[in-house]
Structures are given as structure tokens and as C-alpha cells.
Amino acid sequence: MQMRILGRSGLEVSALGLGCMRMSFGDTPTDKQEMIAFLHAAVERGITFFDTAEVYGPFTNEELVGEALEPFRGKVVIATKFGFKHDGERGPYPGVGLDSRPEQIKRVAEASLKRLRVEAIDLFYQHRPDPNVPIEDVAGAVKDLIQAGKVKHFGLSEADADTIRRAHAVQPVTALQSEYSIWWRVIEEAILPTCEELGIGLVPYSPLGRGYLTGKVDETTTFASSDIRSRNPRFTAEAMRANRVVIDLLERIAAQKGATPAQIALAWLLAQKPWIVPIPGSRKLARLEENMAAVEVEMTSGDLSEIDTAMSKITVVGDRY
């Protein structure tokens, strides 16, 4: 597995990370021992970058990742997140509201350290901006944790360019996690240039469009009520039918490369910048291996230009949330 460094931070990780959320959160129950074995298999194949969060479960995903990766302590990088509370207020997750007060951040860090079975959190993201807490206070709290040896690197998620700059002035930001893919490119206008200027790595989540860009999901697919896609405007039958043109494009490029649509979608991301590290989620070994092979797919400037030209003529149907 090729390695990449997130921005100018010196934090080296596998060129492809692994999003762990759905191993214990969301639509389909999983067997804990199966997921532990799967995480071990990922490490054995060269994945060194794993993504979790306090709110996944909540708590159970960190516990799973911590138990599974304990034998590899010091050899892998685990990212987790703070920024939510669990008192029934509304937020992006059912029953969860925002809370990035400094005292809450430090409480979450202590709890996450225990669940992850580590002495320091490798990468600690603010999960979502909190309009009630100045980002300077958030960055200052994480700076305190870094100085105390409890956190190694500070990250933001879904932050805008101004927020990134303000945070970075207090405590250098190692990585920004944001949705980014061949069909969701809003961050290219202001956020990506800001990351490049400040030396911040980008960690795209949903790089495969929540599964749609694999080409294995279409208008006949049904989703359980607990699956976020069942409420997602981009996953109505009408939207999936209309967006089929994106899959047609990926399949055309994939046929030229002897690859799959998923591999082209990931290879396209990897080709954008050398400091971009996508974190596709997976729970099956075959899918993990397919994704990992994307690192070996060479995208020429001609390929990238062809994709850009084609996508400029496509209007993707449906909001992302």
C-alpha cells in the first residue's frame, strides 16, 4: 500500500483509509468478532488509517475499533471526533445535538482514550462546527490536549474556509474531513485552495457517494428505514435513475483501464492532490480489496480532463442531505 502525508503535518498514513462507522452504526447489524477479524485483515493488507467517532453507536464504534486495533498500537493511526451531546436535542444524528464547549471536548477526549485503548488520540476532529462556540475556543481546547500529550493532531470536519483559517491560527490543523467525490465538488472553490495554502490534508468521506458510485445501486434498490439513504434526496428512485449518467461515465473510463467504477471514483480523488486520503467505508473483504486496488490505477491528465468535461455537462439530481 502506498503511503501519503496529510498536508505539512508529517502525519503519514496509507493512501486509502477505512471508514468504520457502519461496522456498528446504522442500517445492518454486524457481528463484532467478524468486524474485528475484518479490521485485522485490513491492517494485514496495508491499511494504517482508521476513522471512527464518539457518536457512532454512540460509543460502540470506538470500542470496536479500540479492541480490534489494540494489537497494532503504534503501527496504525486512529482518527476520532468530538462535538455532539446525547441529551435528546436535534442534530445530524437522531437524538444528538452539537456541543463543542472546551469542557465537553476534554471530557470526550478522556472517554475516547479509554474506549480506543490508546495513550494519545492520533487525530481528533471537531465533527461539525458549533455555532455557539467560537472556533478559537475549540482550537484552544485541543491545543491544551496536545500539550498534555493526550492528542497528537487536530482536525476539522465540514468546516468552511474562514473557520479553517481561524482555527489554524490558534492550533495548526492537520486534516479537514469533508464530503468530496466525483459528484460532490463544492469544496473545490474555496476550501481546497485554503487547505493547499495552509498545508492541511484532506480526508474525503463518502468518496463513493454512499455506495452509488460503485454502480451497484440503482432505482430498484430498496433501503431499510434505519439506512440514511432511505431519507436522502439523492437516493430517491427518480434521482438514482437521473444520475445514472454519472455511472455510465465511470463505467466507460473503467472499461478503458480494466478497472471498476468504484476504483475510478477513488483513483480520481487520489489524482486531485497528493495530500488527499479518502476513507471509503467497507465491511466486506472483497470490497476492501477492490477499493485498495484503486491506488494502482493511473489516471492521466487526459483521463482527468475527460471526466471534468463530461461532469460539467451533467446536473446531479438531489441534495446530498
Angstrom distance (rounded) from CA 162 to CA 157: 13
- Cβ neighbours for 73, distance < 8 A, ≥ 6 positions apart: 117, 118
Is the predicted pLDDT of residue 91 greater than 90, yes or no? no
Percent of the chain with pLDDT over 90: 79
Residue 290 in any domain: the answer is yes
Question: With bands split at pLDDT 50, 70 and 90, how would you rate the model's confidence at 234?
Answer: confident
Query: CB 192: neighbour CB atoms within 10 A?
Result: 21
pTM of the full predicted structure? 0.94
Angstrom distance (rounded) from CA 264 to CA 297: 7
Residue 73 in any domain: the answer is yes
Residue 54 in any domain: the answer is yes
* Burial class of residue 318 in the structure, from the number of CB atoms within 10 Å of its CB (0-12 exposed, 13-18 middle, 19+ buried): middle
Angstrom distance (rounded) from CA 93 to CA 57: 10
Q: How far is CA 148 from CA 28, 112, 143, 172, 306, in A?
A: 39, 15, 9, 16, 49
pLDDT in tens, 103-158: 999 999 999 999 999 999 999 999 999 999 999 999 999 999 999 999 999 999 99
Domain total in the chain? 1
Residue 318 in any domain: the answer is no
Angstrom distance (rounded) from CA 24 to CA 60: 7
Contact 223, 229 (CB under 8 A): yes
Q: To the nearest whole number, what is the mean pLDDT of the chain?
A: 93
Is the predicted pLDDT of residue 89 greater than 70, yes or no? no
CATH code of the domain covering residue 156: 3.20.20.100
Domain hosting 292: range is 3-312
Cell numbers standing for residue 60: 460502540
Percent of the chain with pLDDT over 70: 95
Active site amino acids: 56
Average pLDDT over residues 296-318: 93
Query: CB 320: neighbour CB atoms within 10 A?
Result: 15
Residue 319 in any domain: the answer is no
Average pLDDT over residues 182-201: 97
